[in-house]
């Protein structure tokens, strides 16, 4: 208790002659606070980026896709689906057909893939990304044309919206006078927006039966089979196992492979940002060496008196280690307060906007994790204590007679 009493008294001392030292102490506390706040905020944003983008990818893409090596159609798909139903890990199986073509609205024309899926689409969470209209792939009650849902960016580029009628030119093989594209009109029921360009500008979706009829698919022919697992943590392991069991020319591709570049970008963000920001804490911690040394110089007389009264080296060492500990604690309290306030403000008012074309979202997301606060607190305190050892050992080894004489001089 005696060491704590002296350490707190020295830390809170505001004597006029120590005004410069008080300034240095405040700078040391501020350095720890800024470093801790910067690291906690960067970790919260990194977690937010990872989870928002991952949720979007998982919401748009199936967990696992089955297709052929060479891009040909899957034949006898009913037999394959029956085999897949034997796996307990699979929650939903969805047949998919693709057709390449061009859409026209007014004078605007754009190449696109027409994706035919089940009208309810229970494999993905795409209906949750609808920003206009509704996710409805069946014709409206008063409409005779098949319905589509399109990406918001594509709709903006071509100028159509829910309720518009677009023309689709189905291209099979190389267009020629003998191979003219089929033309079909579709009614736009809704648009979706994920803020990821490669998702919002690549597909239009319609009911699988309408697409099969347009491209003259056989009843048992499919372009792909999409799978949703009961547990997304099993995606990688189940994908490897299924790929080994399926006969040639079938192969599987997990969502992590399909959108590998995006997941790699997420991982790079999560790994590098905390490393760079953590340097701030290291610098702030080692600044304590100079701060505690100045506190020792100011207290040389007190050190001499304590030693003449019988205080051993260990007690002196503990006093100045506690000084470093107090600086770390005060800095952490301020830093955690700053980080907590920032996370609340950003999640409530989104004060930091982002360009969606570069970051796949319109504002910086934050997702604080309790474990980050625990780790940052522990590491900061350890670094500050380690930085305080050198000056504290110097104080503990001072000769009391020379110290008292120095103080009088």
The C-alpha atoms of residue 364 and residue 185 are separated, in whole angstroms, by 40
pLDDT at res. 16: 47
The C-alpha atoms of residue 342 and residue 42 are separated, in whole angstroms, by 11
Q: Is the CB of residue 241 less than 8 Å from the CB of residue 66?
A: no
pLDDT at res. 192: 93
DSSP for residue 310: T
The C-alpha atoms of residue 389 and residue 382 are separated, in whole angstroms, by 11
Q: pLDDT per residue over 34-75, tens digit each?
A: 889 988 998 899 899 889 988 888 888 899 999 999 889 999
Q: Is the CB of residue 285 less than 8 Å from the CB of residue 32?
A: yes
Q: pLDDT per residue over 13-40, tens digit each?
A: 766 455 677 888 888 899 889 889 988 9
Mean pLDDT of 398-404: 68
Global pTM value: 0.82
Q: Is the CB of residue 29 less than 8 Å from the CB of residue 334?
A: yes
pLDDT at res. 407: 53
pLDDT at res. 403: 61
Q: pLDDT per residue over 145-172, tens digit each?
A: 899 999 998 999 999 999 999 999 998 8
Between vectors from CA 328 to CA 394 and to CA 30, what angle results, nearest 5°?
Answer: 110
Selected residue with higher pLDDT from 148 and 141: 148
95 exposed, middle or buried (CB, 10 Å; 0-12, 13-18, 19+)?
A: buried
3 state SS of 264 = helix
3 state SS of 354 = coil
295 exposed, middle or buried (CB, 10 Å; 0-12, 13-18, 19+)?
A: buried
DSSP for residue 163: T
Q: Is the CB of residue 195 less than 8 Å from the CB of residue 167?
A: no
pLDDT at res. 402: 65
Q: Which tokens belong to 391?
A: 């000056």
% of the chain residues with pLDDT over 70? 94
Q: Is the CB of residue 369 less than 8 Å from the CB of residue 46?
A: no
Average pLDDT, the chain: 87
pLDDT at res. 64: 97
The C-alpha atoms of residue 377 and residue 371 are separated, in whole angstroms, by 10
Model confidence at 129: pLDDT above 50: yes
3 state SS of 368 = coil
Q: pLDDT per residue over 275-328, tens digit each?
A: 777 777 777 777 778 888 877 777 777 777 777 777 788 888 888 889 889 989
Rounded to a whole number of angstroms, the distance between the first and last alpha carbons of the chain is 32
pLDDT at res. 370: 94
Selected residue with higher pLDDT from 268 and 66: 66
Q: What confidence tier does 86 reach under pLDDT thresholds 50, 70, 90?
A: very high
Q: What confidence tier does 141 reach under pLDDT thresholds 50, 70, 90?
A: low
């Amino acid at each position: 208790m005696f060491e704590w009493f002296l350490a707190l008294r020295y830390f809170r001392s505001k004597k006029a002659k120590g005004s410069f030292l008080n300034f240095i102490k405040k700078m040391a506390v501020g350095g720890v606070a800024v470093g801790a706040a910067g690291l906690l905020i960067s970790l919260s944003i990194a977690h937010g980026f990872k989870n928002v983008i991952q949720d979007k990818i998982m919401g748009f893409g199936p967990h696992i896709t089955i297709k052929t090596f060479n891009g040909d159609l899957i034949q006898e798909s009913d037999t394959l689906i029956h085999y897949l139903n034997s796996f307990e890990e699979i929650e939903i199986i969805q047949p998919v057909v693709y057709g390449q073509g061009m859409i026209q609205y007014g004078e605007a024309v754009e190449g696109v893939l027409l994706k035919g899926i089940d009208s309810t689409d229970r494999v993905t969470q795409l209906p949750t990304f609808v920003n206009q209209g509704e996710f409805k792939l069946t014709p409206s009650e008063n409409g005779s044309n098949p319905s589509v849902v399109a990406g918001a960016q594509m709709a903006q580029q071509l100028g159509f919206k829910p309720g518009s009628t677009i023309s689709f030119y189905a291209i099979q093989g190389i267009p020629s006078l003998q191979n003219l594209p089929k033309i079909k009109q579709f009614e736009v029921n809704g648009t979706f927006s994920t803020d990821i360009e490669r998702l919002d500008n690549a597909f239009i979706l319609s009911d699988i039966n309408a697409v099969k009829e347009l491209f003259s698919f056989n009843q048992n022919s499919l372009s792909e089979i999409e799978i949703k697992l009961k547990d997304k943590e099993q995606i990688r392991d189940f994908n490897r196992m299924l790929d080994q069991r399926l006969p040639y020319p079938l192969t599987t591709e997990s969502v992590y492979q399909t959108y590998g570049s995006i997941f790699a970008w997420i991982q790079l963000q999560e790994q590098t940002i905390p490393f760079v920001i953590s340097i701030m804490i290291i610098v702030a911690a080692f600044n304590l060496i100079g701060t505690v040394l100045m506190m020792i110089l100011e207290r040389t007389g007190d050190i001499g008196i304590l030693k003449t009264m019988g205080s051993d080296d260990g007690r002196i060492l503990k006093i100045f280690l506690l000084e470093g500990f107090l600086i770390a604690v005060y800095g952490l309290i301020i830093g955690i307060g700053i980080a907590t306030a920032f996370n609340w403000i950003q999640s409530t008012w989104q004060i930091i906007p982002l360009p969606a074309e570069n970051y796949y979202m319109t504002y910086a997301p934050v997702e604080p994790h309790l474990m980050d606060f625990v780790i940052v607190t522990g590491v900061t305190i350890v670094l500050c204590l380690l930085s305080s050892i050198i000056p504290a050992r110097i104080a503990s080894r001072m000769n009391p007679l020379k110290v008292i004489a120095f103080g009088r001089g």
